[in-house]
Chains A and B, each alone.
Chain A
């Protein structure tokens, strides 16, 4: 092949896949290659034989471009997934609201329509409407029940632990005062026992605080898992 026909063949193969500037760039490289070969007294035929079939070369360039696009697409996909995960919770709430209002509207519309139709259909439509209504109410109820249970359980446990801790600390402080009182009036053995009682109470208070922190951690984990579960439920609902 001559230099011109080789470059022309390459251009024809690349035209549909690459931009003009990319093709010009590539053709310039190969043109340079032919010029350098000619300068070394090689014939165009020799040079094109060494280069190989233009189809194979064009295929390689097209593959490279495809790989570049795939890498960018993958990055885009990962970013999109993260973005949609963040938006997921908000969307779940809005879809819940929409679905609820939609179901209410369709249910009320159906009831209205059925009043205009024959009496035989009324019963069926009403049960349909109320069935969908109940399922929606059920899912809302389940959600709120869970939320309240979590809420009250947490408040209760925290309140109890903190209250008990404060109580024991106060006992400890009170006990110190008692100690001062008892040292002057009571025999030493009894005051020793008061000291031990104080130490025990303070230790108990510390234990309760640690327990509170641990339960706090567990609750955060549970809430996280629950939110993830709910998101999965709503996405599968949306797909189905």
Chain B
């Protein structure tokens, strides 16, 4: 899969996961990794950029085991961005499916 495309999809997945609940770095990476095999290290640059663009805010939360962890929380701006990404994805996947089904129809 093309790198830029993959990055964009991971962006959307990260936003979607954090929209459900606040998570810390390791948690986010493990969640995505449970769905697909990715280069786990590449999630942090994405997290960092999305935070710089104010789609996330971060806070430190004390934990019972070990030092305080950095949690990510989605902002209103981030929710809006997630919504537009979801629409793009729906449009795109519908288009691709149409083409693929069209091709199948023709080959039958």
Binding site for B on A (CB under 8 A): 25-26, 28-30, 32-33, 35-37, 39, 50-54, 56-57, 60-61, 64, 67-68
Q: What is the chain A residue whose CB lies nearest that of B41?
A: A51
Smallest beta-carbon distance A146→chain B, Å: 50
Q: When the two chains form their complex, are residues B26 and A36 in contact, meaning their CB atoms are under 8 A apart? A: yes
Partner of A64, one of B39, B45, B65: B45
Please list 30 pairs of residues, one from A and one from B, whose beta carbons are closer than 8 Å in the complex, sorted by A's number: A26-B48, A29-B25, A29-B44, A29-B47, A29-B48, A29-B70, A30-B41, A32-B26, A32-B69, A33-B25, A36-B25, A36-B69, A50-B33, A50-B40, A50-B41, A51-B39, A51-B40, A51-B41, A52-B39, A52-B42, A53-B41, A56-B41, A57-B45, A60-B45, A61-B45, A64-B45, A64-B49, A64-B52, A67-B49, A68-B49
> Which residues of chain B have C-beta atoms less than 8 A from A30's C-beta?
41, 44
Question: Interface size on B (CB < 8 Å)?
Answer: 20
A32 near B45 (CB under 8 angstroms)? no
B65 touches A39 (CB 8 A): yes
A32-B41 in contact (CB<8A): no
Q: A53 vs B39: C-alpha distance in the bound complex, in angstroms?
A: 9
The answer to whether A33 and B45 touch across the interface, beta carbons within 8 angstroms, is: no
